[in-house]
Amino acid sequence: MDKRVVIAAVAGTILVAAVAIWAWRGIGRMSGTDDVQPEQAANETPPPGPPLAPNEENGSLQASRQAMVDEQLASRDIHDPRVLEAMRRVPRHRFVPKNLIPEAYADHPLPIGHGQTISQPYIVALMAQLAAPRAESRALDVGTGSGYQAAILAELCREVYSIEILEPLAREAEERLRGLGYQNVTVRVGDGYRGWPEAAPFDIIIVAAAPDHVPQPLIEQLAPGGRLVIPVGDARQELLLIEKGEDGSLRQESVAPVMFVPMTGEAARKK
pLDDT band at 57 (very low <50, low <70, confident <90, very high): low
Instruction: State which fold the 3-48+55-269 domain adopts.
Output: Rossmann fold (3.40.50)
What angle do helix axes 81-89 and 121-131 make, rounded to 10 degrees? 140
Q: For residue 243, give the H/E element and its range.
A: strand 237-244
Distances (CA, A) of 223 to 144, 199, 226: 21, 11, 5
Task: Name the helix (H) or strand (E) containing 258.
Answer: strand 250-258
User: Where is 64: in which H helix or E strand?
Assistant: helix 59-67
Of the candidates 31, 60, 75, 119, the residue annotated as catalytic is: 119
**What mean pLDDT do residues 219-235 have?**
96
Mean pLDDT computed over 51-56:
48
Q: Report d(CA 112, CA 106) in Å as an integer.
A: 15
Closest by Cα among 247, 241, 205, 202 to 223: 202
Between residues 29 and 140, which one has the greater pLDDT? 140
pLDDT band at 27; cut points 50, 70, 90? very low
Q: Residue 149's Cα: distance from chain center in Å?
A: 5
| Residue-wise DSSP of 101-143 | GGGTTSSS-EEEETTEEEPPHHHHHHHHHHH---TT-EEEEE-
Each residue of 112-123: pLDDT tens digit?
988 788 999 999
| CA angle, 206 then 207 then 208, to 5° | 125
Decide if 119 is catalytic.
yes
Angle between helices 121-131 and 3-23 (to 10 degrees): 150
Strand order in the sheet with 159-164: 185-189, 159-164, 138-142, 202-207, 222-233, 237-244, 250-258
Beta bridge partners of 160: 139, 185
Name the nearest CA neighbour of 215 among 232, 190, 234, 239.
232
Q: In this model, does residue 174 exceed pLDDT 50?
A: yes
Nearest partner of 207 among 174, 179, 171, 233, judged by Cα: 233
pLDDT of residue 259: 85
Q: Where are the chain's structural domains? A: 3-48+55-269
Question: Is residue 207 within a helix (H) or strand (E), and if so which, with residue range?
Answer: strand 202-207
Predicted model pTM: 0.81
Residue 52 has pLDDT above 60, yes or no: no
pLDDT of residue 214: 97
Omega of the bond leading into 201 within 30 degrees of 0 (cis): yes
Q: Find the mean pLDDT for residues 69-75.
A: 97
